[in-house]
Amino acid sequence: MAAKSRLGRRCLWGWIHLSCTLIFASATSGAAAEASDVAGEAEESIPEPVIKVEEIVIRAPRVRIVSPLPGVGIERDQAATNIQSATAKEIAESRAINITEFMNNNMQSVSINDYAGNPFQQDLNFRGFTASPMIGTPQGVSVYLDGVRVNEAFGDVVNWDLLPMNAIATMDLLPGSNPLFGLNTLGGALAIRTKTGFSDNHARGELLSGAWGRQQVQVSNGINNGIIGLFTAYNHFEEDGWRRNSPSNLRQLYNNATVKLPKGEINLSALNVNTALTGNGMLPFEMAETNRKWVFTSPDESTNKLDHYNLNGRWDVSDNFTISALAYKRKMNQAALNGDFYDEYQQLFSRTNIDYINGTFNFSNLKQDSFGFSVQAAWDVGRHQIVFGAGVDKNKITFSQREMYGEINAKHEVVPVRDEAFYLEGMYAAKYPVIRNNLNGHSTTKGVFFSDTWSPKDNVHLTYGARFNWSRVVNDLISDRGNSLYQFEFNPLNPGGSGLLNPARQRCALPTDPFETFARFVCTDGDYKYRSFNPSIGIAWEVLENFSLYGNISRGARVPTIIELGCARDHTKDSQPASTNYQYGCSIPTSLSADPYLKQVRSTSYEAGLRGNHFGFSWNAGVFTTELKDDILFMPLGRKNRGVFDNFGETLRQGIELGMSGELGKSKLRLNYTYLLATFESAANAINPNNSSNTSPTTLQAYVNIEPGDYLTGMPKHIVQASWNYQFSERFDATLSMIMHSYSFVRGNENNEHQPREASHACNPCGAQPYDRDPYDYIGKGTIAGYAVFNLRATYKFNDAITLFMKADNIFNKDYSTAGDLGRNPFGSNGGFNPDTTQWQNTTFIGPGAPRAVWVGLSFDLNWKKGNASSSPRL
């Protein structure tokens, strides 16, 4: 009796009526069986009663999330854009190690660039816009984790290594400048939802091993008692990497606690991550032709530590009105070490006559603290689905950077200077790092938004909305003037001396100081305010049951970040015609400069298309255009990795998007195609002596002139994704997939005019004494060739719980590259450092794609829902 009473009270919560019914039915089945034994054949004479039950109509839930917070969704046929989604099952079956790999294989208009040389540090491109972990890359895609924007405040970058795959429940990619997703939603938004003890109330696990020493362990488990649910997921990944000295190590832990209330729920989640990644970047194509496993220089290491906490809740005020709220705190610390060749080696050698100091170390430390809250109300009434809300996000940043000398050994590793004599001869940076900058900043963004999906007819859905943003960005910068390391000399007998290291010069410059005579540092501060109004309107028309048309217009904005303002171009110095170095610039992500004003980026997106479902295949076809004004680009200044952030007039992304997927017999087929035109639409110039078309023969500076219509670097015109899954039996299936990209231009070739060229003599004007137009050879085409890569997946199910799988990438061992840059190579044909700087070559650097690799794994999925309900784990 007591058990029955407890069971009855549980049902009163109203959350598990169906489960209670099943349990009651199971409990009474035994008594019914006993009654049938006693009744015997007499039971057969009793006519079976006719039971009439009231018809219950269950409304199908909406399935496409359209706002960062939970509580509202929209069906695919009602969406005014081409929303793409993925479930936890699809993600798990792909065997992808991170989000960029999964999206590159499966989602339309997506491509990747691997500039860093690490699978967790790739640029994700969507319709010509990028979400990247690299400072200096123009960002244009916002990424949300359970309602929290995880684009870091320092450059709006996205650290893909901080997002655990086995904790993801759903992932939605929304194109265009959707105003509900706030700042940086220029080309699209990626909304990620995590699992709970209610959505995944069973244990899963996976073991993976194979090529490059890769070892991965993933485990997760969820439990609930109908009121309280707990979920945890852990991922440990490590590998040596396929290139020399390129290991990776990740530890990701996600925990979630959910409390179901009579009219709502509360979630508390914690994400704790530690990663150590080595990405040794690109290498000259001529080195890659000899051995693609080589690295240009190393080390290039970064470590990330994340503590991310999210408290959110939902209150169902009524069947049609829901209020959601969220508060979060996020702390991310990053330390980076980069070893590179010293591009001013000749100047140092001329002063010291020492030839073994040919490298540098760059050290940087970044601390970011973010917190905020938001509230959202969703009202589903009549023919309207209304959403309105507000949010506040605050960020605080501390960044420091130092630099010192190193030596490059035979393995291209930069190691500390071993000879104490070099320091004793007055070169301070041989023993101690030189402080380049200290940056402190904070930003605050406030926003209010609303959206309404109005269905004037059952088959016509009009969605309109807007967002108001108010942002403030504050900087406090202490920056080195851009002095070269060889200028930091001192007298061991008089360490203070009169040079840059004189204690009296370790201060901020005053207006009365002679230029670069007394104070060593430039100290600036900035306080900038931005505001924007971003509207959106779209329509979806279900012409037939399986055929729809849609269209959308939207506006977005991106505010300059602390790093971009800290390294902005100072146009007041553009009027110095006699100078060949107008700016100090930044060696990204290292030293900074003054922080002039930058405009916020504005985007306007247009999209139209049609979609349907016929003969077992779903399909879509559409066109899209996004116009960007005042895009913030990193403009090089002619010194290695050094440049400034500047507003660039206009850029344009437009294209055609086609896709289809479905089943045919035992086969599942999928095909996506994108035609993309991503172009500059304003004239500009950058400084790059490594581009063969630079203007150095006729100007003091090596300008590269960009003209309207020039194609953006790193963006292929044609993207094709295809897959074929075949079910050989109930237990065994295999999937063959292909990724195909056309050629793209490399960074540094923004004018698309670089050509390989040998050293030659020319005259200017003709008849005058000849001079060397190209003192060094220009080799490499300045483009990345198109490629097609094939991958294979195969699985064998021993039973519903245990699966053996194989993952093979690049099965035809194709040599290909996904990224490139124009740079200078100081290494000779034998791979050793060449002290003769006149022999250093301007060349095309490439980010080589990984060779053929095979991994095998074992996964288990103990889905308790498949067993007896009474055997489900309880708290």
**Residue 710 domain flag:** no
What are 523-570's pLDDT values in tens digits? 878 888 999 999 999 999 999 988 999 999 999 998 887 777 766 665
Q: Are the beta carbons of 258 and 238 closer than 8 angstroms?
A: no
Task: Please report the pLDDT score of residue 254 as a whole number.
Answer: 98
Task: Please report the pLDDT score of residue 330 as a whole number.
Answer: 97
SS3 category, 428 = helix
What are 801-838's pLDDT values in tens digits? 999 999 999 999 999 999 999 989 999 888 889 888 88
Average pLDDT over residues 56-83: 58
> Which residues form the domain of 7?
2-40
Identify the residue with better confidence: 476 or 213.
Answer: 213
Across-strand partners of 379?
A: 321, 386
Q: What is the CATH number of the domain that holds 501?
A: 2.40.170.20
Nearest 10 degrees: Cα torsion 565, 568, 572, 578: 160
Q: Please choose, from the candidates 349, 334, 342, the residue with its C-alpha nearest in 3D space to the C-alpha of residue 398.
A: 334
Q: For the chain, what is the domain count?
A: 2
Q: Residue 653 is which amino acid?
A: R
Q: Are the beta carbons of 75 and 62 closer than 8 angstroms?
A: yes
Identify the residue with better confidence: 38 or 263.
Answer: 263
What are 127-144's pLDDT values in tens digits? 999 999 988 788 999 999
Task: Please report the pLDDT score of residue 776 as a whole number.
Answer: 59
Identify the residue with better confidence: 120 or 494.
Answer: 120
Average pLDDT over residues 221-225: 95
SS3 category, 791 = strand
H/E stretch holding 12 reads helix 2-12
**Residue 18 domain flag:** yes
**CB under 8 A, 24+ apart: contacts of 265-270:** 265/313, 265/314, 266/311, 266/312, 266/313, 267/146, 267/196, 267/310, 267/311, 267/312, 267/313, 268/309, 268/310, 268/311, 269/146, 269/194, 269/309, 269/310, 270/307, 270/308, 270/309, 270/310
Task: Please report the pLDDT score of residue 67 as a whole number.
Answer: 60
Identify the residue with better confidence: 448 or 769.
Answer: 448
Residue 575 and residue 490 in one domain: yes
Question: Looking up tokens 């140092």, which residue turns up?
Answer: 348
pLDDT higher than 60, residue 234 = yes
Q: Residue 830 is which amino acid?
A: N
What are 125-184's pLDDT values in tens digits? 999 999 999 887 889 999 999 999 999 988 889 999 999 999 999 999 999 988 888 888
Average pLDDT over residues 715-732: 97
SS3 category, 103 = helix
164's tokens: 């655990």
Report the relative pairing of strands 300-316 and 359-381 from DSSP bridges. Answer: unpaired
Task: Please report the pLDDT score of residue 73 as a whole number.
Answer: 56
**CA 809, chain centre distance (Å):** 22
**Residue 99 domain flag:** yes
CB atoms closer than 10 angstroms to residue 466: 17
Largest interatomic CA distance in the chain: 123
Identify the residue with better confidence: 625 or 61.
Answer: 625
Task: Please report the pLDDT score of residue 145 as a whole number.
Answer: 94
What are 278-300's pLDDT values in tens digits? 988 899 999 999 999 999 999 99
Task: Please report the pLDDT score of residue 805 as a whole number.
Answer: 97
Q: Are the beta carbons of 654 and 624 closer than 8 angstroms?
A: yes
Question: Which DSSP letter does residue 710 get?
Answer: P
**Residue 71 domain flag:** no
Which residues, 6+ apart, have CB-to-CB distance to 104 below 8 Å? Answer: 110, 111, 112, 124, 739
Residue 92 and residue 18 in one domain: no
Task: Please report the pLDDT score of residue 203 as a whole number.
Answer: 93
Residue 24 and residue 86 in one domain: no
Task: Please report the pLDDT score of residue 129 as a whole number.
Answer: 94
Q: Residue 66 is which amino acid?
A: V
What are 9-49's pLDDT values in tens digits? 333 233 323 333 332 333 333 333 333 443 444 444 444 44
Question: Which DSSP letter does residue 161 get?
Answer: G
Residue 530 and residue 664 in one domain: yes
**Residue 292 domain flag:** yes
d(CA 501, CA 478) in angstroms, rounded, equals 16
Cβ burial of 574 (10 Å; 0-12, 13-18, 19+) is: exposed
| Strand stretches in 211-353, DSSP E | 214-224, 228-239, 248-261, 264-278, 283-284, 300-316, 321-341
**Residue 691 domain flag:** no
Residue 25 and residue 147 in one domain: no
Alpha helix locations (H) across 40-172? 88-94, 99-106
Q: Please choose, from the candidates 203, 230, 260, 15, the residue with its C-alpha nearest in 3D space to the C-alpha of residue 865.
A: 203
| Lowest-pLDDT range of 405-409, 702-706, 792-796 | 702-706
Phi, psi of 577 (to 5 degrees): -65, -20
Residue 403 and residue 346 in one domain: yes
d(CA 149, CA 152) in angstroms, rounded, equals 8
Distances 75 to 64, 182, 225, 255, 621 between C-alpha atoms, Å: 6, 22, 30, 30, 18
d(CA 131, CA 493) in angstroms, rounded, equals 52
Question: Which DSSP letter does residue 489 get?
Answer: B
Identify the residue with better confidence: 658 or 869.
Answer: 658
Phi, psi of 430 (to 5 degrees): -75, -20
Q: Using 50, 70 and 90 to split pLDDT, how confident is the model at 866?
A: very low
pLDDT mean across residues, the chain = 83
Residue 15 and residue 82 in one domain: no
Task: Please report the pLDDT score of residue 41 as a whole number.
Answer: 42
Distances 110 to 303, 340, 720, 788 between C-alpha atoms, Å: 27, 31, 9, 15
What are 272-282's pLDDT values in tens digits? 999 999 988 89
Q: What sign does the CA torsion over 25, 30, 32, 33 have?
A: positive
d(CA 528, CA 242) in angstroms, rounded, equals 45
Across-strand partners of 573?
A: none
Q: Which pTM value belongs to this model?
A: 0.86
Phi, psi of 30 (to 5 degrees): -65, -45
**Residue 768 domain flag:** no
Q: Using 50, 70 and 90 to split pLDDT, how confident is the model at 499?
A: confident
Task: Please report the pLDDT score of residue 242 as a whole number.
Answer: 95
Q: Using 50, 70 and 90 to split pLDDT, how confident is the model at 871?
A: very low
Return the axis-axis angle of helices 17-39 and 2-12, rounded to nearest 10°.
140
Residue 140 and residue 244 in one domain: yes
Report the relative pairing of strands 321-341 and 300-316 from DSSP bridges. Answer: antiparallel
Residue 573 and residue 650 in one domain: yes
pLDDT higher than 80, residue 690 = yes
**Residue 62 domain flag:** no
pLDDT higher than 60, residue 497 = no
Task: Please report the pLDDT score of residue 294 as a whole number.
Answer: 92
Residue 374 and residue 516 in one domain: yes
CA geometry: angle at 178 spanning 81 and 273, to 5°? 110
Residue 534 and residue 392 in one domain: yes
d(CA 870, CA 331) in angstroms, rounded, equals 42
Task: Please report the pLDDT score of residue 574 as a whole number.
Answer: 47
Is there a cis peptide before residue 765, judged by omega within 30 degrees of 0?
A: yes
Residue 434 and residue 566 in one domain: yes
pLDDT higher than 50, residue 449 = yes
Helix/strand/coil percentages in the chain, nearest 5: 15, 50, 35
Question: Looking up tokens 């006719």, which residue turns up?
Answer: 50
